[in-house]
Structure 1
């Protein structure tokens, strides 16, 4: 890739890495399930009005929205609200990569030796990180974040099976699915009183609203737009590794802004996870152009796009 395109890929990693700080700021004001509903609603409304519906089977659009938009963020936001450190959340969520590989096997994808090794390495890293969360209340947010990674993987699989001719349109229309179920879940679990109070007292909560706007505009629309633009012009194997900068940015930003300093063993686990995810992200062989006129490498690349974030991310 030209230097300018590499800088753009690095910029996306920074945008997605800082997404976790933005989520942390918003959770200081809004309850997690309501915040997820609010986040997707702010993107879904202009999407329905301005973006054509993607030409994909409805079941895969719903699967993408429920996996990526509902399960991933319901678990992630509740984990962070329950005390999952912001920086570690950006790292543990990368569990979506080995989960995606394993789910892919269920629909007939070939598990290459390199990807199998990547799954083992990534899981080993997660076990190392998780070993430092055992005991007290720290283990539950870690488990919730892992569940968020599994939800992301379900979304990845649905987006792959959808084979969208325009991946960005599918990404945007995915946001139409989560608002109603997340609002219903919020009303059921958090209750109308907590929702109303969070909105009524948010007038001076500029950090929470700034964080929410960041996740919508910069994290989701700008980050995903640039990433999809790069994916359409370069092989997935060239662009995808830049997504591994996301947890690096997330951990560093949380360290600087929030004073979160992972222990030495956790840092070792982080390095192992990143190595494993890089292995699982390798694209074997030459990409094949599908009958749906997806450009070379674009289908695989879209899967890398969804495993990169926070994204929307985030």
Structure 2
């Protein structure tokens, strides 16, 4: 990989790692579902008028929007609101890699290798340890909502594979924007039903600079810049070369949340975090190791 593209990968990791701090800050002033809705409004307009619809069917586009946008982001925003530290959220979200594997094996009949199962086992133990550590800033509801968000991401990844099979190459940015557009109305309705009109009125009448700054970061930096650069890397290199950058995301998330928000994790949460990182490393990079090369099996 070219040095310039390595730098781009690191920029994306930093942008997405800081994304969890922006969410935490924004949730102090704006209800979670409303914050997600506004994120996609700002992401989509006015840029959607200049981007053609991606060359995939409306059915697949709606399915992607429901899982990757509405499901993933609403669950993680609500989860962080009810009790999930930003750093741990950035870590637990990466369990999407294992949900992607499981759904791909069941739905598409994809093959698994020794590193997938070993990584899943190690990371699963780490997830169980973290789940058992209630108290402090983490609640049971917060943990499981963020885990459900990761599951939505995993399902969305598999839908993405099916939706883009045989489709000519197209800009990732157009897909991000059109998926966001389709999520706006259902998210707005959900916010009105669950959070109420008064929450909308309060956010409109008394905006804060931190809330506005958070929203701008989430929509323009994390969404448009982050996914735009990531899509550029995927267009130049195989996913196996690009995906290892994601291993650094929890490192950035945990470090930045500690420095900026003063978050602390317990000893057992730290052990669980290390196990998840180890499992992710084996899952992503283990296929290139010599161990178990002949153990590939189809499910």
TM-score between the two structures when normalised by the length of structure 2? 0.89
Q: 1:26-175 to 2 correspondence within 5 Å? A: 26-107=26-107, 108-133=109-134, 138-163=139-164, 164=167, 165-166=169-170, 168=172, 169-175=174-180
Q: 1:280-295 to 2 correspondence within 5 Å? A: 280-282=283-285
Instruction: State which of 220, 224, 228 in structure 1 corresponds to 2:227.
Output: 224
Deviation of 1:187 (Å): 0.7
Query: CA RMSD for the aligned pairs?
Result: 1.9
**Matched position secondary structure for 1:281:** helix
Count of residue pairs brought into register by the alignment: 283
* Cα distance, 1:279–1:172 mapped onto 2, change above 3 Å: farther
d(CA) in 2 for partners of 1:126 and 1:195? 35
d(CA) in 2 for partners of 1:49 and 1:155? 25
Which residue is equivalent to 2:197?
192
d(CA) in 2 for partners of 1:178 and 1:10? 29
Superposed CA offset, 1:54-88 (max 9, x none): 11122221111100101111110111111211111
Which residue is equivalent to 2:297?
none
Please tell me whether the aligned partners of residues 31 and 195 of structure 2 are also in contact (alpha carbons under 8 angstroms): yes
Instruction: State which of 169, 182, 186 in structure 2 corresponds to 1:181.
Output: 186
* Cα distance, 1:52–1:282 mapped onto 2, change above 3 Å: farther
Deviation of 1:17 (Å): 0.2
**Matched position secondary structure for 1:260:** coil
d(CA) in 1 for partners of 2:222 and 2:267? 29
d(CA) in 1 for partners of 2:286 and 2:67? 23
TM-score between the two structures when normalised by the length of structure 1? 0.85
Please tell me whether the aligned partners of residues 99 and 150 of structure 2 are also in contact (alpha carbons under 8 angstroms): yes
d(CA) in 1 for partners of 2:72 and 2:149? 4
Deviation of 1:30 (Å): 0.7
Q: 1:215-294 to 2 correspondence within 5 Å? A: 215-282=218-285
d(CA) in 2 for partners of 1:166 and 1:136? 42
* Cα distance, 1:284–1:57 mapped onto 2, change above 3 Å: farther
Structure 2 unaligned regions, length at least 5:
289-299
Which residue is equivalent to 2:296?
none
**Matched position secondary structure for 1:177:** helix
* Cα distance, 1:8–1:135 mapped onto 2, change above 3 Å: closer
Which residue is equivalent to 2:211?
208
**Matched position secondary structure for 1:244:** helix
Greater percentage in helix: 2
d(CA) in 1 for partners of 2:134 and 2:50? 45
d(CA) in 2 for partners of 1:199 and 1:3? 44
